Amino acid sequence: MSDDSAEEIMEATYRALCEHGYAELTMQRIADESERSKAALHYHYDTKEALLRSFLDYLLERFEQRPAAAEDAAPRERLDTFLEAIFESNTSEGTGFATALLEIKAQAPYNEAYRERLLEWDRAMRGTVADAVREGIETGEFREVDPERVARFVATTINGAHVRQVALEEDLGETRELLEAYLDRTLSPGDPDGGGAPV
């Protein structure tokens, strides 16, 4: 399959997930969003699950190719660029997709291939945060914290924001603001009050 074909199928899958969610997703509905027949999709992917595995790979690849902060950006700016990429999905299309993604997460205990990909995505997110924190400590911009622990806490908060967006219809901005205050407070060096206003 050409890269263009794969990309076209992945985009059709994204639209079908936004519209129908995961449980109601069918190969026919993906075909309806693409320029292909259901038979053509089945030629490349045996099952909906096989297609979804490729789709999760595609998402991870997109995450890894997201617009990066400038080469010489300060560590805090890197963190802000990361948060921007994570929280930008707070649109109505984004909510449909967020719902489908939560359904997929709830499928992970039944589907090892989904779980592996979700773990990989989590590692990528945490790695981005931990690298920026580590660099900030080296340059003296941040205080001496454990980069892995901060990264895990940030990832957990992002996971929580995702559930709250879907289950409680909460605006992602609520969590983003709390998370930024947490980072200010945790990372700021040498503030006698321990890094600005408490959360």
Question: Are the C-beta atoms of 59 and 125 separated by less than 8 Å?
Answer: no
- Considering the complex, state which of residue 44 and residue 185 has its C-beta at the smaller distance from its own copies: 185
- Looking at beta carbons only, is 90 or 157 nearer to its own copies? 157
Identity of the residue, 64 or 191, whose beta carbon is nearer to its own copies in the bound complex: 191
Shortest separation between residue 122's beta carbon and its own copies, angstroms: 6
Residues near its own copies (CB under 8 A) are 21-23, 95, 99, 102-103, 105-106, 108-110, 115, 118-119, 122, 143-146, 149-150, 152-153, 155-164, 166-169, 174-175, 178, 181-182, 185-186, 191-195, 198-199
Smallest gap from residue 48 Cβ to its own copies (A):
14
Least distance from C-beta 75 to its own copies, angstroms? Answer: 15
Q: 53 or 105, CB closer to its own copies?
A: 105
